[in-house]
Amino acid sequence: MNTVAELKELPKDQKVPYEAVVVLRKSSIRKARNDSEFLMVEFGDKSGVFHYICFGNSSHYQLFLNAVEGTIYRVQGSTDYYQNRFSPSITHIEKVHESEVQRYLDRLVECAPIPVKELWTELQGFIAKINHAPLKETVNSALSELEKEFKTIPGAISMHHAYRSGLMEHTVRMCRACVSLLPLYDEVDPDLALAGVILHDLGKALEYTGDLATTKSRLGHLHGHVVLGYRQTRRAAIKAGLSEDLLDRLEHIILSHQGELEWGAAVKAATPEAVFVSMVDNLDAKMGMVQYALRSTPENQDFSDYVAGLGAPLLVRKPQYPA
């Protein structure tokens, strides 16, 4: 039984038979240049993902067309590459019976590299650094209502920290950066900035759903995480008695944290804290992509696969200094 990472390490110049147990993460209809439709199917396990192109004349087409995201399959075929991207053939596929699912979970679900308990404990330490009592209560209240989801949901579906507990890892890493950078910027209010960092993506705990394959929930499609996070924070802040001025500023951080309107921000950042949080968010999102590429690329490769969020493959070899 092969993992996805093991398959990608096999020789590129020959087709090698394989067998793997993988999760169907998503299946979408695409159009070729001649207007014919095909399916782009994404499979994965905790070691990585690969895409399978399924045309209408394939015996698997109807299966993948009606497949449920998060379903676990046993697949067989041979390794292959298309435009230098790993794209194996599939000659046989069968759904893994529910009685067998548990035995494969450890190899299928990719988790944050830092244990959940450690992340949660560290996050509580950052919350304790917020000195203003109503702000601290706002953060605790908003977070406690979604604690279970916050601890497990990915940071994104595909771009960065796209694995179990990725949202919490992203938030904790942003807190680290925030605390380290705040002494350089006296104009940024520390309590507002730290509260904004912790709550900026909380709406994703409502936007995303699914354990093995994350998809958008109904509210995720209709409202999006920016609005959902704004609403969650507003309820908690009113309950905590946060002043109108601080509430406006905290809400603005959440509404503007994605930086650009075309990236999903409701408004452009217009306070020192909002500018600061949006920049820290962008930094950690990009570095999350770098960290993932570094740990998921086989040791015998100089470059990672193409990283969409960076717009290029990443050079993974460490710098070599002369002796």
Domain boundaries, the chain: 4-108, 116-291
Global confidence as pTM = 0.76
Beta-strand relationship, 208-209 and 215-216: antiparallel
Pick one of 3.40.50, 3.30.70, 3.80.10, 1.10.3210 as the CATH number of 116-291: 1.10.3210
Pick one of 2.40.50.100, 1.10.10.10, 3.40.640.10, 2.40.50.140 as the CATH number of 4-108: 2.40.50.140
Question: What pLDDT does residue 202 have?
Answer: 96
Question: What pLDDT does residue 69 have?
Answer: 82
Question: What pLDDT does residue 164 have?
Answer: 85
Chunked into runs of 10 residues, the chain (323 residues) has average pLDDT values of 87 89 88 86 86 87 84 91 86 88 79 91 98 98 95 88 91 97 98 98 92 82 95 96 97 94 90 97 95 87 90 92 90
Question: What pLDDT does residue 26 have?
Answer: 84
Question: What pLDDT does residue 174 have?
Answer: 97
Question: What pLDDT does residue 148 have?
Answer: 92
Question: What pLDDT does residue 254 have?
Answer: 97
